[in-house]
Structure 1
Amino acid sequence: VQFGDLLNEAYLRELKYYNEFISESYKLIKHDVVPRHYKSPNTPCIVLEDLKRSGYVMVDRHKLLDFDHCQLYAKASAKLHALTIAVNKTHPDIIESLVKESPIAAEKAEQVFKYLMVNLFKCMAAYLEDKKEYKEI
């Protein structure tokens, strides 16, 4: 499995999310729940609406959100999850296609997990090497 295959699959799933799920969500509630998306002649590229024009600002990702912003996120996230249930009632095929496990992603995830575990144990062994209390284990 090549990394490019994984990216292409993620791109196609993301397109399906915007073109199908978000379109159906809009039909239900008549307003946008995510930034608008625009078709791009470049593949794989998804162009999203610039929310700065609507007054949104990027927060410093190194700082925590305040309570009010956490509350806004929780409400927006709950609405999006509720829309998933609503869309699933009328179009279960859309939701099913978005959540089905990808053979490419599953294989890549297994490779990454094995790599991480091997290196985790190497790091742990190196760290514990000079610790007296662990010499006999």
Structure 2
Amino acid sequence: MIGGAAALLVNVSTQPVEAAEVIVYKSPTCGCCNEWVDHLRSNGFTVSTRDRSNMQPIKQEFGVQAGLQSCHTATVDGYFIEGHVPAKDIKRLLSEKPEISGLTVPGMPMGSPGMEGHRKDSYAVLEVDPDNNTSVYAQY
């Protein structure tokens, strides 16, 4: 019976996080934004995109500060997701539901989801609290 309970725990922990739709605001001509959207979809997220020629009003609306910005901004369940944040970190966010404003990967680091290529740079996913303080959420 213990083995069955352990198997049940494993099955529950690997289930996808149920979440509201991810809305991605992006430039209509940005290829890496499309690649990141594909990354989310391949990891079980439902995603809709909203093309914008000027991203600054969106970033201001969601409170994404200049030094934390990237090429696209998304929202999910009341959080902002800025840049090339891995899907597993978004799933963790939605599972844990911390009292933060969102997650960001500033810039466009090579090797992050949507920025795969000939090299892989180290980068951090930062959490942003309501006072715009940041701390490392995940390191790659």
TM-score (norm 2): 0.22
Task: Point out the structure with the larger helix share.
Answer: 1
Of structures 1 and 2, the one with the larger relative CO (CA 8 A, separation 6+) is 1
Structure of higher CA gyration radius: 1
**TM-score normalised by the chain length of structure 1:** 0.23
